[in-house]
Amino acid sequence: MQMTEVDEMHPWRLTLNEDLPLTEGIAPSGIEQPRIDIGPVFCPASEGVQVEATWEGTDWPALVTKTSNDWTSVYSATPLLSPELVKRIARRAGVAVRVDGTEPSFVTRNLVCVHAAVDRTETLHFPEPMRVVDLVTGEILAAAATDLEVAVPGPGTRLLQTIPAQ
């Protein structure tokens, strides 16, 4: 990916291309963007890449993806991307995303921890049928689930053990 340096101060804000699957439906308010000027800024050349977002008020690429046969490269001019956008990038790259929502979560091979500020339902996905047990209450939430909706009372956290179903 070729980069160009723009040696001037510019607001550190992005405008998403809402016509593309990666950024479609993500509201600008969904990305926390500081109201500061930075410079110089770096812009990838727009040839051979998909421009997902531009620097606000310009046509300078700020978030781009480049897809090859077996990999996808992502360049972001800002580290402040929305959780939904990061999950979409991960899914496109083939990462198994176990928790649908964007609230804080922690996932390992045997544990899923989900947090909620307010009451909500979280959808979990597993690559194979899993027995899911709430480690605090001992409640068995599923005997053999590949998809599971879990009520998370807020404010609160649920710690779940996942075990391959027998």
Sequence ranges of the domains in the chain? 3-92, 105-164
- The predicted structure's pLDDT at residue 84: 86
Of 32, 27, 26, whose CA–CA distance to 13 is shortest?
Answer: 32
Q: Which two tokens stand for residue 95?
A: 């990462």
Q: Is the pLDDT of residue 30 over 80?
A: no
Cβ-in-10-Å burial (0-12, 13-18, 19+) of 100 comes to middle
Full-model pTM: 0.78
- Fold assignment, 105-164: Immunoglobulin-like (2.60.40)
Alpha helices (runs of H) in 57-130, residue ranges in sequence order: 83-92
d(CA 12, CA 33): 7
Q: Is the pLDDT of residue 97 over 80?
A: yes
d(CA 118, CA 42): 39
